[in-house]
Chain A
Amino acid sequence: MSFLPQVAFLIILAVAAFILTKRVRFLKRNILLGKEETRNDQPEVRWKTMLLVAFGQQKMFKRFIPAFLHLLIYVGFVVINLEVLEFILDGILGTHRLFAPILGSVYTAAINIFEFLAVAVLFSCVIFLIRRNITKVPRFTKPEMKGWPALDANLILVIEIILMMAILTMNATDQILAARGDEHYIALGTLFFSSLLQPLFEGMSDGALVFTERFTWWFHIAGILAFAVYVTYSKHLHIFLAFPNTWYSNLKPKGEMPNMPEVTNEVNMMLGIPTDAPADPPAEIGRFGTKDINDLSWVNILNAYSCTECGRCTSECPANLTGKKLSPRKIMMDVRDRAEEVGKSIDSGGPGLEDGKSLLGDYISKEELNACTSCNACVEACPVNIDPLSIILQMRRYVAMEESGTPAQWNAMFQNMETSFSPWKFSPQDRFNWADSVKEEEIPD
Chain B
Amino acid sequence: MSTYKVPTMAEMAAKGENPEVLFWVGCAGSFDDRYKAVTQAFVKILNKVGVSFAVLGPEETCTGDPARRAGNEFLFQMQAVPNIQVLNGYGVKKVVTACPHCFNTIKNEYPALGGNYEVIHHSQFLQQLINEGKVVLQGGGEFKGKKITFHDSCYLGRANNVYEAPREVIKALDVELVEMKRCRTKGLCCGAGGAQMFKEPEPGKKDINVERTEEALATGAQAIAVGCPFCLTMMADGVKNKERENDVKVYDLAEMIAKDMGI
Contacts and interface: CB of A to CB of B under 8 A. Distances in A.
Interface in A358-407: 367, 370-377, 379-380, 393, 396-401, 406-407
B186 A418 contact: no
A428 B81 CA distance: 18
A368 to B, nearest CB: 8
A341 interface: no
A255 B160 contact: yes
Most chain A CB within a 10 A radius of its CB, from B27, B108, B201, B202: B202
Interface string B198-216: 1111111111100110000
A80 B57 CA distance: 67
Contact of B81 (A255, A273, A323, A406): A273
B36 interface: yes
A48 to B, nearest CB: 17
Given A267-B77, A271-B81, A396-B71, A410 B199 contact: yes
Given A253-B161, A377-B189, A423 B194 contact: no
B4 A423 contact: no
Contacts of A215: none
B154 A373 contact: yes
Given A401-B73, A424-B31, A377 B158 contact: yes
A255 B108 contact: yes
B224 to A, nearest CB: 17
B206 A409 contact: no
A423 B200 CA distance: 15
Nearest to A325: B202
A426 interface: yes
Given A255-B104, A417-B62, A431-B31, A321 B211 contact: yes
A367 B204 CA distance: 11
B75 A324 contact: no
Interface in B152-179: 154-155, 158-161
A58 B154 CA distance: 22
Nearest to A427: B31
Nearest to A370: B202
Contacts of A323: 203-206
B80 to A, nearest CB: 8
A42 interface: no
Contacts of B61: 421-422, 428
Interface string B67-89: 11111111101110110010000
A322 interface: yes
A318 B27 contact: no
Given A439-B4, A439-B6, A441-B4, A374 B69 contact: yes
Given A257-B109, A396-B70, A431-B60, A375 B194 contact: yes
B70 A414 contact: yes
Interface in B69-125: 69-75, 77-79, 81-82, 85, 104, 107-109, 112-113
A131 B137 CA distance: 52
A264 B77 contact: yes
Interface string A434-445: 110111111111
A318 B62 contact: no
Given A267-B78, A414-B70, A371 B202 contact: yes
Interface string B1-26: 11111101000000000000000010
Contact of B112 (A259, A268, A372, A374): A259
A431 B109 contact: no
Given A374-B69, A423-B62, A253 B113 contact: no
Contacts of B191: 318, 322, 373
B188 interface: yes
Contacts of B74: 263, 266-267, 401
A260 B73 contact: yes
A288 interface: yes
B48 interface: yes
A429 interface: yes
Interface residues of B, number: 81
A252 interface: yes
A288 B73 contact: yes
A365 to B, nearest CB: 10
Contacts of B185: 380
Given A255-B159, A440-B3, A318 B211 contact: yes
A380 B160 CA distance: 12
A413 interface: yes
Given A318-B188, A318-B208, A393 B161 contact: no
A270 interface: yes
A91 interface: no
Nearest to B155: A255
Nearest to B157: A376
Contacts of B108: 252-253, 255-256
A373 B208 contact: yes
* Residue among B48, B62, B160, B194 with most chain A CB within 10 A: B194
B6 A257 contact: no
Most buried by B among A289, A319, A406: A319
A430 interface: yes
Interface in B26-42: 27, 29-32, 36, 39-40
B133 interface: no
Contacts of A426: 27, 30-31
29 contacts: A253-B104, A255-B104, A263-B74, A319-B208, A321-B211, A322-B207, A322-B211, A323-B203, A323-B205, A324-B202, A324-B204, A326-B202, A367-B202, A370-B202, A373-B196, A375-B154, A375-B189, A393-B71, A399-B71, A400-B73, A406-B71, A422-B27, A422-B30, A422-B31, A431-B57, A437-B40, A439-B5, A443-B263, A445-B1
Given A254-B160, A372-B194, 15 more contacts: A253-B104, A253-B159, A254-B158, A257-B69, A318-B188, A319-B202, A319-B204, A322-B207, A322-B208, A374-B69, A423-B66, A426-B27, A428-B61, A435-B6, A442-B1
The 5 closest A-B pairs by CB, nearest first: A255-B159, A323-B205, A374-B194, A400-B71, A396-B71
